[in-house]
Structure 1
Amino acid sequence: MHWYFDVIKNYVGFSGRATRTEYWMFVLFNFFILVIARLIDWLLPSSVPIIYSLYSLAVLIPTFAVGARRLHDIGKTGWWQLIGFIPILGWIVLLIYFCTDTQDKENVYGANPKEFIEE
């Protein structure tokens, strides 16, 4: 759960690098929160998914920020996220990039974040 809160604390941090674990744990917790928000909206009498929509807007910038840091971790610019606007092919490319392992050495975006992780 701390990965989720670390991303939220670094709300607009588009610089630096994020490991695969940090990115995918944020995605996982974010998915579960979105499902819960959708269920709550379903239980409410309103036909507008207000909680789901508000939460989605609240995490929009942190989602792009952690995505940019994840791409920085493999040596790509954060602008590669825009390829996601290309249906199917863009999503596949992003999925491959987000699953790619960290560059072992320091790159132009900073030091290897795996060196600082205590096991």
Structure 2
Amino acid sequence: MDSTVSHKTKKMEVLPLLFSFKGRIGRIQFTKWWLPLNSITLPLYYLNDQLAGMVAILLLWPLFALTTKRYHDFNSFGWLGVFQLLPIIGWLIVIVGCCFTVGDFKDNKYGESLYK
């Protein structure tokens, strides 16, 4: 039996990924969804501020769901995702913490390890 850690991680279906606050996700899956969702509103601000504001409000739930699951992978509170509400510094905290930091290799109270 091979005791090395697999670099393939379990993938979550799209609806639970974007709308549920339960479970864990890895940094690649987080980055693949969080960065594009977070950048949707930027071009809209040049076209229509009100439309961009409405789209940003609609995207809050999926962005918080992604961030919560990513913090769960560190065995941390999902509430740390509120940092993404802080312009620039909050985004940097989330990007560095969630996109570049490896999660917990062991099972934790939020779910099984992604690296089994």
TM (norm. structure 1) is: 0.67
- As a proportion of its length, which structure holds more helix? 1
Identity %: 23
Preserved CA contact (<8 Å) 1:67 1:81 = yes
Could you list the per-position Cα deviations for residues 33-81 of structure 1 after superposition, in whole angstroms to 9, with x for gaps in the alignment? 222322332xxxxxxx122111101110111111110000111111223
SS of residue matched to 1:59: helix
Q: Which runs of 5+ in 2 are unaligned?
A: 1-10
For normalisation by structure 2, the TM-score amounts to 0.68
Task: Please give the root-mean-square deviation of Cα atoms over the aligned residues, in Å.
Answer: 2.9
Unaligned runs of 5+ in 1: 42-48
How many Å apart are 1:27 and its aligned residue? 2.4
Change (3 A) 1:102 1:32: same
Alignment of 1:57-72 (within 5 A): 57-72=57-72
2:51 matched residue in structure 1? 51
* TM alignment of 1:1-119, pairs within 5 A: 6=14, 9-10=15-16, 11-41=18-48, 49-82=49-82, 94-98=94-98, 99-115=100-116
Q: Is the 8 A contact 2:38 2:63 kept in 1?
A: no
Q: How many residues align?
A: 103
Higher relative contact order, chain-length normalized (CA < 8 Å, sep 6+): 2
